[in-house]
Amino acid sequence: MRAAWIASFASALSLVLAACASTPTEEQSPAGVEERKPGAQPGAQTQPVKPPTVARIDLTGKPSPTSGLKDPNNILSRRSIFYELDKFDIKDQFKDLVEAHARFLRDNPGMRMLIQGNTDERGSREYNVGLGQRRSEGVKRMLLLLGAKEAQIESVSLGEEKPRDEGHNEEAWAKNRRSDIMYQGEY
Partner 1 sequence: MRRLATALALPLFLPLCLLLTASSASAQLSIEITGAGAQRIPIAIVPFAGEGALVQAISAVVRADLERSGLFRTLEVPPLNPAPTEAAAVNYAEWRSRLADALVLGSVAARPDGRFEVRFKLFDTVKGADLSGVAYTLSREQVRATAHRIADYVYEKLTGEKSVFSTRIAYVVKLGSRYELQIADADGANADYALRSNEPIISPAWSPDGSRIAYVSFEQKKPVVYVHWLDGSRPRQIAANFKGSNSAPAWAPDGSRLAVSLSRDGGSQIYLVNPDGSGVRRLTQSGGIDTEPVFSPDGQTLYFTSDRGGSPQIYRMPANGGEAQRVTFDGSYNVSPRISPDGRSLAYIARSGGRFQVAVLDLATRQVQVITDSDKDESPSFAPNGRMILLATINLGRGVLSAVSTDGRVKQRLTISAGDVREPAWGPFTR
Between 100 and 156, name the residue whose CB sits nearer to partner 1.
156
The interface with partner 1 within residues 148-187 (CB under 8 A) comprises: 154-159, 161-162, 168, 187
CB of 132 to partner 1, least distance (A): 8
Distance of CA 175 to the CA centre of its chain: 26
Q: Is 119 in the site for partner 1 (CB under 8 A)?
A: no
CA distances from 119 to 57, 127, 167, 184 (A): 45, 10, 13, 23
CA geometry: angle 75, 76, 81, nearest 5 deg: 90
- Residue of 119, 120, 118, 108 lying closest to 153 (CA atoms): 108
Identified binder of partner 1 from the candidate list 76, 100, 114, 146, rule CB under 8 A:
114
Largest CA distance in the chain: 94
65 lies in the site for partner 1, by CB under 8 A: no
What CA–CA distance (Å, rounded) separates 84 from 135? 11
Would you say 74 or 167 has its CB closer to partner 1? 167
Q: Which of 76, 137, 146, 175 binds partner 1 (CB under 8 A)?
A: 137
Nearest C-alpha neighbor of 139 from the set 116, 107, 172: 116
| Single residue of 131, 139, 143, 148 touching partner 1 by CB under 8 A | 131
Q: Residue 99, interface with partner 1 (CB under 8 A)?
A: no
The number of residues that bind partner 1 (CB under 8 A) is 25
Classify residue 182 by burial, with Cβ atoms within 10 Å: 0-12, 13-18, 19+.
middle
Of the pair 95, 125, the CB lying nearest partner 1 is at 125
Cβ nearer to partner 1, comparing 129 with 142: 129
CB of 133 to partner 1, least distance (A): 5
Whole-Å CA distances, 168 to 4, 112, 122, 156, 176? 44, 34, 9, 24, 11
**Under the rule (CB under 8 A), what is the footprint of partner 1?**
114, 116, 122-127, 129-134, 137, 154-159, 161-162, 168, 187
